[in-house]
Amino acid sequence: MKSLNLNQSGFTLLEMLISLSIALVILTALSATFLLQHKIYDVQGQITVMVQSARNALELISRELKTATYDPSCAGIGCMPYSDNGAQLEIRADFDGDSELSGNNEKIIYTFNASEYYVNRDTGDGAKPFFQNIQQFKVEYFDQNGKVMTIKAPFILSRYAFSELEEGCLPATISKDLKKIDNHEYSSEDSFTKALEETIGKEDTEKYGCLIKQHSRILIKLTEAAIADLKEKGLPESVIQALEEIRDREYKSSGLLAADLKKSIGKDNWEKYGGTILNAAVTYLSSQIRQIRIIITARTDKSDPDYNFNQGHRMITLTVQITPYNLIP
């Protein structure tokens, strides 16, 4: 019978506890590293999706904007509507040349839902969310001088507006009906639209309303360059000095400018030079839109509690400035 060897060496309880503690520390460190790497991967994935979504949005809108105002049959339906609030973009183009905007993607309206962080796209069958996680959607319009347009003038069908419309594509019958509301002032687009519907009907308002509105918002002023041009044309110094007193003063119609001119330069000078001065005045119309800038700020879908800005959502802002081919003079 073998006797037990009580002198065999082994791990003591203390050694076992120390080993387990070291293993636990290593395991905890490895777990923390794994979780950190997973979080970084998730954040980078969200940023990639955010950037790609913003780029896709701008690419699509840019492509559509380049064809804006295409109107091969001169039906008066190809125009670039000006949006007061800067959060809506309407693109109109008569691709099939049938003088209607009933074809595929011939009338597209983008609107921004700030509370839900998305951009709607309406191609005629109702507005639907199209771009998600959009924190800012801004539209800016530029005139032929490269300046941002901020048109705050009311809607007035003035003599100038009628002359522009009659030279354009507006049918004579529509122009004749519009005479009923000439020189009436409308402070909002909604009130002007209602007046158009009562005058020419809803169908013609839908078709020609954009063109009419373009030529119904007028701001006229004599700029420094205009006065310098008049001086070169030989206008008397006394007249030039009088014009300097009303330089850069904005008028809603040429009639209001004419009234001020008669007081400033006198009746005789008005009869001699009035027409020349009015022609030199700069008229700001939404029909003078030449470029459109789109600014989109996208944000990540999920909120990161460790990111202390913008409620935990990372952001990126992308900008594109487009010159539609049909707006080039």
Residues 294 and 174 in one domain: no
Q: Is residue 5 part of a domain?
A: no
The C-alpha atoms of residue 82 and residue 292 are separated, in whole angstroms, by 10
Q: Is residue 7 part of a domain?
A: no
Residues 138 and 70 in one domain: yes
Q: Is residue 2 part of a domain?
A: no
- Residue where a domain stops, chosen among 214, 245, 261: 214
Residues 160 and 224 in one domain: no
CA 33 and chain centroid, separation = 45
At 108, is the pLDDT very low, low, confident or very high (cuts 50, 70, 90)? very high
- Residue where a domain stops, chosen among 191, 214, 237: 214
Q: Is residue 120 part of a domain?
A: yes
The C-alpha atoms of residue 165 and residue 196 are separated, in whole angstroms, by 15
Q: Is the pLDDT of residue 126 over 90?
A: no
Q: Is residue 52 part of a domain?
A: yes
Residues 250 and 308 in one domain: no
Residues 297 and 246 in one domain: no
- Least confident span in 4-8, 195-199, 238-242: 4-8
- 77 and 101 Cβ atoms separated by less than 8 Å: yes
Name 6's Cβ contacts closer than 8 Å, sequence gap at least 6. none
Looking at residues 187-205, what average pLDDT do you find?
Answer: 91
At 5, is the pLDDT very low, low, confident or very high (cuts 50, 70, 90)? low
Q: The domain containing residue 181 runs over which residues?
A: 155-214
> Is the entire prediction scored with pTM above 0.85?
no
Residues 180 and 276 in one domain: no
Closest CA to 142 of 293, 305, 327, 294: 293
Tell me the pLDDT tens digit for each residue of 45-95: 888 889 998 999 999 999 999 998 888 877 777 778 888 778 999 998 888
- Residue where a domain stops, chosen among 284, 299, 315: 284
Residues 23 and 144 in one domain: yes
Residues 35 and 87 in one domain: yes
Residue 110 confidence (pLDDT): 95
Residues 22 and 128 in one domain: yes
Strand, coil or helix: what is 259?
A: helix
Residue 284 confidence (pLDDT): 60
The DSSP symbol for 147 reads: P
At 325, is the pLDDT very low, low, confident or very high (cuts 50, 70, 90)? confident
- Could you give the percent of the chain with pLDDT greater than 90? 27
Q: Is the pLDDT of residue 27 over 60?
A: yes
Q: Is residue 38 part of a domain?
A: yes
Residues 102 and 201 in one domain: no
How many CB atoms within 10 Å of residue 103? 14
The C-alpha atoms of residue 248 and residue 264 are separated, in whole angstroms, by 15
Residues 128 and 53 in one domain: yes
- Least confident span in 144-158, 179-193, 235-249, 262-276: 144-158
Residues 207 and 246 in one domain: no
Q: Is the pLDDT of residue 283 over 60?
A: yes
The C-alpha atoms of residue 72 and residue 96 are separated, in whole angstroms, by 9
Q: Is residue 125 part of a domain?
A: yes
Q: How many domains does the chain have?
A: 3
Q: Is residue 263 part of a domain?
A: yes
